[in-house]
């Protein structure tokens, strides 16, 4: 089956536009009124588990970091996070009350696969969140939850990331029910918000046009900082990674509150700040961090539902009542911004230099 671009300029663009459909697919059959069901999981998987350890590489590592916020906040379970290539060699302590969770689009990334085998050998229960059925990781792990993103062709991952975060949000509610850390009513409220995600990631033509226009200011300069707090920090990391991968511009993701501890020294008009300013999570705190950067003359592109007068560019997201919906809206914005910057620079978005879709060697 030959994948087609269906009129899009690049597979990455097509895949950004597909997110609404693949998120619906990923939710399908898994949401009840006030509980999440995973038919593929044995109900005893979480018995005796006091900690979740998440391990991945690249974009999957960023979705894992998002998950660490959700598991601690909603499931009230201690969660730790590991980069696979580090975990492999640092002689980690593994205790049997830990559920080891590997995250991978392909299920073949060598470092992640190896950590899964290590955890299994140490007697830990293992789970993989994966996009490819029957991949090596799915075969090794005790249990698997499949993201249903379909084949992802773009080397820069988009829809796989989106479905991973959706799976983690569902899994955090699944565990919250087991642990009683959220009430039925709270879970029901989350589920109705989850159902709204597909409509919030649909690309709006006007917004895409706006991002195309905005992108022309961000082609040079000496660097980008994507900044956010809380779960918007991993989204900032992911935004910066997307930009690096396909534009070859230097970009960093940073916790907004940490800028004053060093990076703000770089601020000048050629330093581009992409600010994630959710209305429903630490808005005032994040805003004041962006104001500090603006006062030092950094060029600011703010992404928010609240107009921000200190911004040089403002990309408005749809009004929504949940920070998780803001998360998904902003995810689409940072993906499109990277795409448009890369296209303006004349790069091959789908085949960025030096990168491979799946890294099966160390
Ligand atoms: C490669 C890809 C990245 C991906 C990473 C992990 O570096 O270029 O886009 O995030 O591998 O891949 P995985 O398949 O394990 O999610």
Q: Over the stretch 230-279, which tens digit does the pLDDT of each residue have?
A: 999 999 999 999 999 999 999 999 999 999 999 999 999 999 999 999 99
Residue at token pair 């590991």: 82
* HEC string for 229-266: CCCHHHHHHHHHHHHHHHHCCCEEEEEHHHHHHCHHHH
Strand order in the sheet with 271-277: 251-255, 223-228, 271-277, 299-304, 313-316
Note the pLDDT of residue 2: 58
**What pLDDT digit, counting tens, does each position of 170-180 carry?**
999 999 999 99
Answer whether 109 contacts ligand 1 (Cβ < 6 A).
yes
Supply the pLDDT for residue 362. Answer: 79
For 69-96, write each residue's pLDDT tens digit: 999 999 999 999 999 999 999 999 999 9
Nearest to 165 by CA among 139, 125, 194: 194
Q: List the structure tokens of 165.
A: 């975060």
- According to DSSP, the β-strands at 51-56 and 125-130 are unpaired
Helix, strand or coil, per DSSP, at residue 58: helix
pLDDT at 79: 98
- Separation CA 176–CA 186 (nearest Å): 10
pLDDT in tens, 24-36: 999 999 999 999 9
Which residue has tokens 């980690």?
92
DSSP character at residue 317: P
Average pLDDT value for the chain: 96
Q: Which residue has the higher pLDDT, 314 or 354?
A: 314
| Structural tokens at position 248 | 């070859």
Cα 113 to ligand 1 centroid, rounded to whole Å: 12
Reported as a pLDDT band with limits 50, 70 and 90, residue 43 is confident
The response to whether residue 153 sits with its C-beta less than 6 Å from ligand 1 reads: no
Report residue 334 CA to chain centroid gap.
11
Copy the structure tokens of residue 328.
């998904």
CB atoms within 10 A of CB 38: 17
The answer for residues whose C-beta is within 8 angstroms of residue 264's C-beta and 6 or more apart is 292, 293, 296
Q: Tell me, in angstroms, the distance from the centre of ligand 1 to residue 239's CA.
A: 15
Give the span between the Cα atoms of 40 and 46, in whole angstroms.
Answer: 14
- The reply to whether ligand 1 has any atom less than 6 angstroms from the CB of 63 is no
The fraction of the chain above a pLDDT of 70, given in percent, is 99
As a whole number of angstroms, the distance between CA 248 and CA 269 comes to 20
Instruction: Reply yes or no on whether the pLDDT at 1 is more than 90.
Output: no
Using the predicted structure, report yes or no on whether residue 131 has a pLDDT greater than 80.
Answer: yes
Give the model confidence (pLDDT) of 148-186 as tens digits: 999 999 999 999 999 999 999 999 999 999 999 999 999
- Exposure string for 149-180, b = 16+ CB within 10 A, e = fewer: bbebebbbbbbbbbbbbbbbbbbbbbbbbeee
The answer on pLDDT for 352 being more than 70 is: yes
CA 31, CA 192: separation in Å to the nearest integer?
Answer: 9
Catalytic residue numbers, as ranges: 357
How much is the pLDDT for 297? 96
Whether ligand 1 lies within 6 angstroms of the CB of 338 is answered as: no
pLDDT score of 360 more than 90 = no
Q: First vs last Cα of the chain: how many Å apart?
A: 30
Is residue 58 in contact with ligand 1, taking CB distance under 6 Å?
Answer: yes
Residue whose CA is at the smallest distance from ligand 1 atom 5: 58
Taking residues 190-215, report their average pLDDT: 97
Cα 61 to middle of ligand 1, angstroms: 9
* Distant-in-sequence, close-in-space partners of 213: CB < 8 Å, separation ≥ 6: none
Please state the rounded mean pLDDT for residues 123-147.
98
**Cβ(106)–Cβ(357) below 8 Å:** yes
pLDDT band at 3 (very low <50, low <70, confident <90, very high): confident
Ligand 1 center to 114 CA (angstroms): 15
Phi, psi of 83 (to 5 degrees): -85, 125
Q: Which two tokens stand for residue 232?
A: 């918007």
């Amino acid at each position: 089956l030959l994948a087609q671009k269906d009129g899009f300029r690049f597979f990455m663009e097509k895949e950004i536009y597909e997110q609404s459909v693949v998120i619906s697919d990923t939710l399908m059959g898994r949401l009840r009124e006030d509980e999440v069901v995973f038919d593929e999981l044995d109900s005893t998987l979480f018995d005796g588990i006091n900690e979740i350890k998440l391990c991945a590489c690249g974009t999957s590592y960023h979705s894992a970091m998002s998950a660490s916020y959700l598991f601690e906040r909603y499931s009230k379970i201690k969660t730790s996070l590991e980069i696979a290539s580090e975990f492999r060699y640092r002689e980690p302590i593994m205790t049997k009350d830990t559920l080891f969770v590997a995250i991978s689009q392909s299920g073949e990334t060598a470092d992640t696969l190896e950590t899964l085998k290590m955890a299994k050998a140490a007697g830990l229960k293992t789970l993989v969140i994966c996009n490819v059925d029957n991949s090596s990781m799915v075969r090794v792990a005790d249990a698997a939850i499949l993201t249903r993103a379909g084949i992802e062709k773009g080397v820069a991952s988009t829809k796989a990331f989106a479905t991973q975060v959706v799976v983690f949000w569902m899994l955090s509610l699944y565990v919250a029910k087991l642990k009683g850390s959220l009430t039925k009513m709270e879970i029901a409220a989350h589920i109705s918000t989850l159902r709204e995600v597909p409509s919030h990631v649909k690309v709006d033509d006007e917004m895409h046009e706006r991002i195309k226009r905005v992108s022309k200011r961000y082609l040079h300069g000496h660097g980008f900082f994507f900044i956010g707090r809380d779960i918007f920090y991993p989204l900032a990391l992911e935004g910066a990674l997307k930009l690096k991968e396909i534009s070859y511009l230097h970009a960093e993701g940073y916790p907004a509150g940490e800028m004053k501890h060093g990076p703000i020294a770089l601020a000048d008009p050629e330093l581009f700040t992409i600010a994630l300013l959710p209305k429903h999570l630490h808005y005032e705190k994040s805003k004041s961090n962006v104001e500090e950067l603006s006062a030092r003359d950094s060029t600011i592109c703010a992404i928010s539902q609240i107009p921000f007068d200190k911004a040089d560019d403002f990309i408005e997201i749809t009004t929504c009542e949940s920070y998780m919906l803001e998360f998904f809206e902003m995810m689409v914005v940072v993906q499109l911004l990277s795409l448009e910057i890369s296209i303006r620079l004349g790069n091959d978005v789908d085949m960025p230099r030096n990168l491979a879709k799946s890294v099966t060697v160390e």
